[in-house]
Amino acid sequence: MHTFKFIRPTDSAAAIAAAAESKTAQQGADVRFLGGGTTLIDLMKLNVETPARVLDINRLPLDKIELMPDGGLKIGATARNSALAYDARVQRDYVVLSQAILNGASAQVRNMATVAGNLLQRTRCAYFRDTAMPCNKREPGTGCPAIESGNRTLAIFGASDHCIATNPSDMCVALVALEAKVHVQGPKGPRVIAFGDFHLLPGSSPDRETVLEPGDLITHVTLPPPIAGSKQFYLKLRDRASYEFALASAAVVLTITGGKVTRARVALGGVGTKPWRSPEAEAALTGKAANDATFRQAAEAALRGAKPQSENAFKIELAKRCLTHTLRTAAAS
């Protein structure tokens, strides 16, 4: 591991000012915020991340989970994943979020990992994690060997000729379906980012994964007020029963009135270069009878635009069955 200065900023303003001196907030950043450490320290050990300064923000007052005046929920950036998953309000009104978090990582990692850190979780692509290999995400311009081979777990949505790495988060899949918002405080003041706009597609610059600029500090994530009677479910399919990243997952939030789907929000995990919302599935569900035929048609619609890699065409049928089962389970809940 490279040497670095460990700094504990006294407040958010000091943290933002220190981070604003970094040339980038993306891959290669020389200043990093430190939350749970479960991604950053792992990657620092691999020399994939080599910050010269590490800003420990764990003691800033950013860990609260609070009800907002509009009935929505405000989730502090450093709230731990386990605190969020076991929060009574989340388990009652946003159960898909609790399910997604509890399907991710292990109990120890969930006790450490923060909400903002989960938004910034890095891909598990083996080439990205190995500095002996080329990788456009880690070292722009070196190439993407994953396109040739070793892509069984990688993306079938959102890939480019430069990068096909999967976003590994479970939590983010549920946050897409719940239409969360990301609140950022930066050198130029605060701003609010719709969840779907927060992560970027790899395109020709896969080293750039989010809209964050130097000095931008995620302060909290908000959820809209709960939708009365909504039916929610998260299903994750993987190589092991637990403590494994998704090959395919689905988060759905449905409103069913008189046997018909009147509102649908659908997101897929383990298949996209970013947490993947499916407006195609939502359109195929809305106004239709809530039955198996509709659910399978929605899954067909969701996967129509998928582009498999050489080793992961199986993910298309897997994701279809995953989404169909998720819709069926949510509707029956």
Partner 1 sequence: MSDDDPQSDPSDPTRRKFLVTTGSSVAASLVASYVPALASGSDGDSDSAWAQTGSSLEDAVPITLRINGKDRQLRIDSRTTLLDCIRETVALTGTKKGCDHGQCGACTVHVNGKRVLSCLNFALMHDGDEITTIEGLGTPDALHPMQAAFVACDGYQCGYCTSGQIMSAVALLNEPCGPEDAAVKELMSGNICRCGAYPNIVAAIQQVRKGA
Contacts to partner 1 by CB under 8 A? 1, 3-6, 34, 36-38, 41-42, 45, 54, 56, 58, 82, 86, 105-109, 111-112, 241-243
Burial 236-275 (b: 16+ CB within 10 A, else e): bbbeeeeeebbbbbbbbbbbbeeeebeebbbbbbbbbbbb
Q: How far is the CB of 308 from partner 1 (least distance, A)?
A: 28
- How far apart are alpha carbons 139 and 141 in whole angstroms? 6
Would you call 51 exposed, middle or buried from its count of C-beta atoms within 10 A (0-12, 13-18, 19+)?
Answer: buried
Q: Three-state SS across 129-178?
A: CCCCCCCCCCCCCCCCHHHCCCCCCCCCECCCCCCCCCCCCCHHHHHHHC
Q: How far is the CB of 110 from partner 1 (least distance, A)?
A: 9
Q: How far is the CB of 3 from partner 1 (least distance, A)?
A: 7
The residue among 121 and 278 lying less far from partner 1, judged by its C-beta, is 121
* DSSP annotation string for 225-292: PPPTT-EEEEEEE-SSSSSS--SEEEEEEEEEETTEEEEEEEEEESSBSS-EE-HHHHHHHTTSBSSH
The residue among 48 and 193 lying less far from partner 1, judged by its C-beta, is 48
Q: Of the candidates 12, 218, 269, which has an alpha carbon nearest to the alpha carbon of residue 114? A: 218
Q: How far is the CB of 41 from partner 1 (least distance, A)?
A: 5
The residue among 44 and 159 lying less far from partner 1, judged by its C-beta, is 44
Q: How far is the CB of 68 from partner 1 (least distance, A)?
A: 25
The residue among 36 and 215 lying less far from partner 1, judged by its C-beta, is 36
The residue among 198 and 245 lying less far from partner 1, judged by its C-beta, is 245
The residue among 110 and 208 lying less far from partner 1, judged by its C-beta, is 110
How is residue 16 written in tokens? Answer: 């933002």
How is residue 263 written in tokens? Answer: 């509102």
The residue among 111 and 205 lying less far from partner 1, judged by its C-beta, is 111
The residue among 54 and 147 lying less far from partner 1, judged by its C-beta, is 54
Contact yes or no for 120/210 (Cβ under 8 A) = yes
Q: How far is the CB of 42 from partner 1 (least distance, A)?
A: 5
Q: How far is the CB of 70 from partner 1 (least distance, A)?
A: 28
Beta-ladder partners of 220? 76, 183
How is residue 183 written in tokens? Answer: 């609140």
The residue among 95 and 156 lying less far from partner 1, judged by its C-beta, is 95
- How far apart are alpha carbons 28 and 26 in whole angstroms? 6
> Which residue type occupies 311?
E
Q: How far is the CB of 32 from partner 1 (least distance, A)?
A: 12
How far apart, in Å, are the Cα atoms of 234 and each of 133, 145, 248, 265? 35, 32, 11, 12
Q: How far is the CB of 22 from partner 1 (least distance, A)?
A: 18
